Structure 1
Amino acid sequence: MKKLSYLFLLFLLPSALVAQTEDNSQLFINDMLVLAQNFAQPAADGASYQAGAGWFSSAAALEKWDFRVSVHGNALFVPNDKKSFNLSNSDLELLEMEGITSATFPTAFGGSTSEYFVGDVTFENPLTGGVLTEAVRFKGIDGINRDYVPHAFLQASVGVSAGTEITVRAMPEVTIDGVSASTYGIGAKHSLSQYFRNTYAEGFQLAVGASYSKLNVDYEFDPISVQNFLTMNHIVVDANLFLAEVIGSKRWNNLEVFAAAGVMNSNFDYEMGGDGIALPRVNQELGGIEGGQTQFKGDLGLNLYFSRFRLSAMMTAGEFFNANLGLSVGI
């Protein structure tokens, strides 16, 4: 009877190894998703404020077929609590921090770290069917170490009928500190003051605006590698950003002040770049943390008019602070 039991165990052993393979490798992937999300999420949140800035700096709409072209400089200021995140070994399923049980790690906005992750990843080789175990050791991902993130973009606006103005925006791909980013978008503003001409004081304008922005960010980092299984060396963020806001402005000769209150909705798709048999699984799992979020913001600024030129300065407040400076010329 004992021999029969041993024989039964021998038949079960290969199946047990495969089950261990699947469980072990999946736990490693789960841990990488935890690290990736904590690292990238603050930057994704900040991108909404960057993408929502500078669209509308006056409630007054351009006259029909009037054009305005502008160049904008933008700076997103990063709060300290968006530069780092805390992690404990209890937050991980397979990996653990080398020599410690908890630590603070940088987000994409943060600095560098000297802490390492270690673990043993067991997986099935798809070519041979054999079971492999690889020791992994890699350093936590470093951030760009910035208190603010600058970027610039071009805009062009045209007045159309019924008190409506259409704006397009473009920022071709630029690379700063190993981060490549590009954005394109379209927006529209519609005057509400035209319906209440006798209600508001002279020079006061009220409007609603909406915009859509497409943002692509590619962040490179030191490769994280498990031999014969997975290599990751950059993360790509593909964002769809929507903005709706109410704008009010009041002009006195060459000076105009404006304020706006808006709501932003953002949807982010994450994708890891690299190589290896597990990379498709990683990106499939990343789909599980994709999703939309809603944020609120307020704008306050002023415009100075000089003949055909307009100088705009705006500050946006919310979870982040964002400053925008634009120079426009009417055509």
Structure 2
Amino acid sequence: MKRIILLLMLCSFSFGISQSNLNDLLAAGLNDAERFTSDWLAPVSEAGIYSISNGWYNSADAKPLGGFEISIIGNITGFKNKDDKKAFTLNTEDYENLQFVDGSTSREVSTALGDIQGVRVFVEAEVVPGVPVREEFELPSGLASEDINFVPSGYIQASVGLIKGTEIKARFLPKIDTDDVKIGLFGVGIQHDFTEHLPADKVLPIAISGVIGYTRLNGEYDFTDTEIIEGANQRIDTRFNSWNFSAVVSTKMPIINFYGGLGYMTGKSETDILGTYVVTSGPFQSTYEDPFSITNKVNGVMASVGTKLKLGFFRLNADYNIAEFNTLTFGINFEFR
């Protein structure tokens, strides 16, 4: 349960590492452990980046000078039907030591999003000439095996109107700092309403804007006390960065409005496995300091459609974003003009 809570706090990423049988993987050697972990984590990092990239707009109609909005935004990025992201092909020819117990040389195995269980592998070598040492273990499964088929994110966002047609935005997740988890999120953005410069702006039924937003998530999970593997100061340091560039159009009606956007997202995740790890089983026993880092880059086109309900200064909005990973975004907003 503790690790599932961690999933919700770290966009599933550090949860994935904590599930990955780190002790067993390092028993296969550092290079094999890094190769497998990189392929295993790539889809969940991609989903996490898409998740935090959303929610930058709920209208193309820019706020006037001094107008502002405070929002609570939540994103749910689903992968239930993303079978191509739930598994990858592990070919033992790409590994130095890892072999399948069933004798196959290539087969589908689970990613951190998947639900392929019971895949057993082994490593074997002669530590002493003529005396082989063999270590068997099971490859990790993923979030779907816990009946989790989404990656969540959430934050508080504020927008303020400046000069004609321009507003700036900022988002943050208040820093959470517990005994073993630290997480924080921040971002900045800008939106410009191009229809503000048209003579018929006040009578046009629509607004058209451009939006640029940058988001960064920092997370750290200290699992020294979980006794996954002998050592000290064992922790995961994760950083997500994303840029969203979008063109947005919306209606301009008094109560219910509709909006949509077309954009491009680019992002990167960086994860450092830090601390001391002592492998005491198998033929490749060793001590590793800060064993490896993993970097994943993501980019893709996104399209969204949504609606916004105005009730005085209170607003509700929801939109659906179509991309490599689809995301449902919902917001509770308080706007003052």
Q: Is the TM value for this pair above 0.5?
A: yes
Shift of 1:249: 0.8
Aligned with residue 158 of structure 2, among 156, 159, 166: 156
Residues in 1 aligned to 2:52 and 2:330: alpha-carbon distance in whole angstroms: 14
Query: Is 2:314 aligned against 1:309?
Result: yes
The residue that corresponds to 2:197 in the other structure is 195
Shift of 1:44: 1.6
Kindly provide the CA deviation profile for residues 269-316 of structure 1, in whole angstroms up to 9, marking residues without a partner as x.
Answer: 121245234333x32xx3xx6364421111111111111111111100
Gaps of 5+ in 1: 1-24, 124-132
Residues in 2 aligned to 1:122 and 1:247: alpha-carbon distance in whole angstroms: 63
Do 2:52 and 2:75's aligned partners in 1 also have CA atoms closer than 8 Å?
no
Structure 1 pair 266–223 and aligned structure 2 pair: CA distance change class (3 A):
farther
Deviates more, 1:205-214 or 1:71-80: 71-80
Structure 1 pair 93–195 and aligned structure 2 pair: CA distance change class (3 A):
same
Residues in 2 aligned to 1:48 and 1:260: alpha-carbon distance in whole angstroms: 18
* TM score, norm. by length of structure 1: 0.75
Aligned residues: 288
SS of the equivalent of 1:109 reads coil
Identity %: 23
Equivalent residue letter for 1:143: G
Aligned with residue 82 of structure 1, among 71, 82, 85: 85
Shift of 1:120: 4.2
Equivalent residue letter for 2:255: N
Shift of 1:235: 4.7
Shift of 1:169: 1.2
Tell me how large the CA RMSD over aligned residues is.
3.4
Structure 1 pair 68–246 and aligned structure 2 pair: CA distance change class (3 A):
same
Residues in 1 aligned to 2:297 and 2:123: alpha-carbon distance in whole angstroms: 33
Residues in 2 aligned to 1:65 and 1:33: alpha-carbon distance in whole angstroms: 51
The residue that corresponds to 1:320 in the other structure is 325
Structure 1 pair 232–294 and aligned structure 2 pair: CA distance change class (3 A):
farther
Say which one has the larger Rg: 1
The residue that corresponds to 2:143 in the other structure is 144
* TM score, norm. by length of structure 2: 0.74
After TM superposition, the structure 1 = structure 2 runs for residues 1-331 of structure 1, keeping only pairs within 5 Å, are 28-78=29-79, 79-101=82-104, 102-111=106-115, 113-120=117-124, 136-145=135-144, 146-172=148-174, 182-198=184-200, 202-217=204-219, 235-276=236-277, 277-280=287-290, 282-283=291-292, 286=293, 290=295, 292-331=297-336
Do 1:232 and 1:272's aligned partners in 2 also have CA atoms closer than 8 Å?
no
SS of the equivalent of 2:29 reads helix
Do 2:28 and 2:123's aligned partners in 1 also have CA atoms closer than 8 Å?
no
Gaps of 5+ in 2: 1-25, 278-286
Structure 1 pair 88–59 and aligned structure 2 pair: CA distance change class (3 A):
same
Do 2:65 and 2:163's aligned partners in 1 also have CA atoms closer than 8 Å?
yes
Structure 1 pair 100–30 and aligned structure 2 pair: CA distance change class (3 A):
same
